[in-house]
Structure 1
Amino acid sequence: MRPRTTPRTEVEIRPLRERDLEAADRIQRRAFAALVGGDEQRDAELVRTRWAAANTAALGAFTATGQVGSVFATRWGSVGFVGPLSVEPELWDRGVGSQLFAAADGVLREWGVAHRGLFTFAHSPRHHRLYERFGYWPRFLTALMSRPVPAASSSAVPELGSALDREVLTAAAAGLASAVFPGLDVGGEIASVLDQKIGEVVLVGPAAAPAGLAVVHDGAGSEAGSGVAYVKVGLVRPGSGADFAALVDACLAHAATVGAQRLVVGVNTARHRAYRHLVARGFATDVPGVTMHAPNEPGYDHEHSYVLDDWR
């Protein structure tokens, strides 16, 4: 790394409390806007929704004058990822981010996940250098994509997880996820959207043994924002291209039902068949990012993997 030209700011790292959320949200929005320009998040909620999720640890950085940053660590069974990490722009390059990341990475290690990761901007070598210090290495690009939602069709009504017994739904999701990667489990995301009432679980096939499943955030107050349906994670069994096509159709149908104008998804380009299917279906890349992995292994990023996800 380049020699530090500003003094390091030592911070206290501790779990975020409810009274910290307003400041954490403000800092996160300011940092994101300073990095990419504008307020792309609008009325989407990244801080409060993650703080309320049982599968996420929320940490804040504090000085004597108050809160200066936050970071989240999320567990999907044997897979865990860090993000978003945000620091007051005035304190960038003063070591606050590295202290936050070390704490979040420590949480993933304590959880004992087999595969750790994160999403960052592909054009930011400063971030790449930071995370490489902790053993995270960049692999294939991840495309954050979207497309307009077609008009709702009365014949296209997908099965929804909120109408099912939670135990049956969670067990079915675990079966699908473990086929994608040993120990992968998205039950925490299912509980998060249904308990907070910020989205739905979209299914393809019979409820007890679905061929595909997607956790979708809907509109304002969720991680999607107004006019948007956002697939936080969606998956089918490896190699099941037809089931993946049906899952994408079901997500578009659900988005139309809730009045969304756009459907947003994330896909790692190492999942080449999934990526090409999305391109053929009219999805376009809005943000090209890169996922970084520890250890430097593909995880479930390979050609036969039909997974939609977003580790931001």
Structure 2
Amino acid sequence: MTFSRSPKHLYFYQKFGFMPRFLTAICAKSVSQKQQQLQSIRYSQISPEQQKEYLLASQELTNNIYPGLDLQSEILAVANQRLGDTLFLWENGNLEGFAICHYGAYTEAGSDTCYIKFGAVNSGKKETERFGKLLNECENFSNIMGMSKLVVGVNTSRQQAYIQILNMGFKIETLGVAMHNPNEPGYNRPDIYIIDDYR
């Protein structure tokens, strides 16, 4: 991802075979002060045996969206470096979605902010409902951790996710552009409910 309004940056990446795809919106909202109990399970609060199961479940979920997509190392990095936590939503024994969150100073989020580094929900029926639930869980988690701002990134080619984020009260703070090599959409498709921004 680079600056969408900078010809120099676009030209630089194109020299290495990267081509600009759709815009990526970095969006934010103020966190509601109405605190509720989390329905998701925090990675930091489960046993090592469960953590292994949850990692494999996350890999299965993302691999079903796009073969080879695997966030296990990112989940471990956030846990090991104490940058935040990962929230897992389960329903009837199935992983419905998860979100890797940074929060606070000395993380990619920054002071008083929770930043969803990556989030995804299961493909299939009720994606919109699951996605909304995951975003609400992240907002509630932000409140519990004492953060006042929630930040997400979403590629605008994931049209349904992008519109839902805006409808939930997020405002665009800045725009970047995703650079791809090879010049293919990857998982940036209208029906994909993923949060990330390549930063």
Which band: TM-score by shorter chain? over 0.9
User: What CA distance in whole angstroms lies between the structure 1 residues aligned with 2:165 and 2:68?
Assistant: 27
C-alpha distance after superposition, 1:201-247 (max 9, x if no partner):
01212596320100000101211111000000000123511111111
Q: Return the offset for 1:265.
A: 0.5
Q: How does 1:23-102 map to 2 (within 5 A)?
A: none
Q: Does 1:205 align with 2:87?
A: no
Q: Structure 1 counterpart of 2:161, which letter?
A: A
What displacement does 1:155 show?
3.5
Structure 1 residues 185-194 or 159-168, which shifts more? 159-168
Q: How does 1:248-287 map to 2 (within 5 A)?
A: 248-287=135-174
- One-letter amino acid of the structure 2 residue matched with residue 268 of structure 1: N
Within 2, Cα distance between the matches of 1:273 and 1:285? 16
Question: Structure 2, unaligned stretches of length 5 or more?
Answer: none
What does 1:15-26 align with in structure 2 at a 5 Å threshold? none
Indicate how the Cα distance of structure 1 residues 183 and 207 shifts in structure 2: closer, same or farther if over 3 A, else same.
farther
In the superposition, the TM-score normalised over structure 2's length comes to 0.93
Structure 1 residues 207 and 198 mapped into 2: Cα distance closer, same or farther (>3 Å)? Answer: farther
Amino acid corresponding to residue 89 of structure 2 in structure 1: V
Aligned residue for 2:26?
144
Partner of 1:217: 102
Aligned-partner Cα distance in 2 for 1:168–1:254: 22
CA RMSD of aligned residues (A): 1.4
2:57 equivalent to 1:172: yes
Matched, 1:244 2:157: no
Tell me by how many angstroms 1:151 deviates: 1.0
Single out whichever of 150-159 and 162-171 deviates more from structure 2. Answer: 150-159
- 2:76 maps to 191
4+ residue stretches of structure 1 with deviation over 6 A? none
1:207 and 1:259 map into 2 onto residues whose CA distance is: 31
C-alpha change, 1:152 and 1:196, in structure 2 (3 Å) is farther
Cα separation, 2, equivalents of 1:174 and 1:151: 33
SS in structure 1 of the partner of residue 94 of structure 2: coil
AA at the equivalent of 1:163: Q
Tell me if 1:134 matches 2:16. Answer: yes
Pairs aligned (count): 194
The answer to whether the 8 A contact 2:62-2:120 is kept is yes
Q: For residues 80-134 of structure 1, what are the alpha-carbon distances to aligned partners after superposition, in whole Å with 9 as ceiling and x for unaligned?
A: xxxxxxxxxxxxxxxxxxxxxxxxxxxxxxxxxxxxxxx0010011010011111
CA distance in 1, matches of 2:164, 2:36: 25
Between the two structures, name the one with larger relative contact order (CA 8 Å, sep ≥ 6). 2
Question: Which aligned pairs between 1:294-305 and structure 2 lie closer than 5 A?
Answer: 294-305=181-192
TM-score for both structures, normalised by structure 1? 0.60
Q: 1:156 to 1:169 in 2, by over 3 A?
A: closer
Q: Which residue of 2 aligns with 1:122?
A: 4
One-letter amino acid of the structure 2 residue matched with residue 213 of structure 1: F
Shift of 1:154: 3.3
* SS at structure 2 position matched to 1:151: coil
Q: Give the whole-Å Cα distance in 1 for the aligned partners of 2:93 and 2:179.
A: 34
Gaps in structure 1 of 5+ consecutive residues: 1-118
